[in-house]
Amino acid sequence: MKIVLAPMEGVVDHLMRDMLTRVGGFDLCITEFVRVVEQLLPAKTFYRLCPELLNGAVTSSGVPVRVQLLGQHPQWLAENAVRAVELGSPGIDLNFGCPAKTVNKSKGGAVLLKEPETLYQIIKAVRDAVPKDQPVSAKIRLGFDDTSLVLENVDAITQAGADLLTVHARTKADGYRPPAYWEWIAKIKEVTDIPIIANGEIWNADDAKLCQQRSGCENLMIGRGALAMPNLAQTIKNNHAPMSWQQTKELLVSYSGYEIYSDKGRYYPNRIKQWFNYLKRQYPEAETMFVELKKFKNADDIVRILAA
């Protein structure tokens, strides 16, 4: 079984990737998307979103990190894919799943699920440009407004030569509302020979098993669930017990040191509060602590509460 850490814009940055891969259980990370418009981006753009490129494209615990691109222009995506691989990215991931309105309005992310031909052209251009030994993966949802084009989209992705496909088992219209329709992934597997990774609504080891049963996929991608339970990947893969609240608090204090002394330190109070919104799902204690913590805007005060 392989478990991939999902890309989550503004949440799973290099600090979070480092923290969660230290906890263990992950085999691959995908970066937040690099937005491609009509230019070849400078190396500094890739280093900003994926500083692991300066360290062999792996986290400090040795987990590979793959650059994700988002855009609508096949040739520009291909040129930027080549640059990312030249900088060290172990392959390229293409984002066709982002549901954000601002992204979709500029014809990026999930809105392209309305255009199977565009999916084909993008993936083919990137696959043709990137060396054959570097995988080209894609992430999709089941559709934009509905599932009417999902099998056509998967066929376009297959014919274009993608090496791997991650399916978030909801449409853009579904957003992140439960449930995830894992049964659709089993239908997708019937029409393609591309390896599939299942994604969506995996919060614990039981969810993972049910997803695997209904989707027919052994390999999984987890995102929000790993924020709610930091050792979720270990509970799924190695039958570890869920991390205790005390262990989680210690992890939060450690993460605080990362955040405060990074170049994003000024955002620390908002970032830690954002993480608590996920932790509250798994730990009742997080709800109680959040009531006290949310009043503070100073990093020292927040760390004092965490460490108490």
Residues serving a catalytic function are 98
Q: How far apart are CA 76 and CA 53, in angstroms?
A: 21
- The phi-psi region of residue 70 (left if phi > 0; otherwise alpha if psi is between -120 and 50; otherwise beta) is beta
The owner of tokens 């262990």 is: 247
Q: How far apart are CA 8 and CA 199, in angstroms?
A: 13
CA-nearest of 205, 214, 210, 206 to 237 is 205
- Cα–Cα–Cα angle for 29, 32, 33, rounded to 5 degrees: 120
CA-nearest of 155, 132, 152, 134 to 143 is 152
Q: How far apart are CA 13 and CA 31, in angstroms?
A: 7
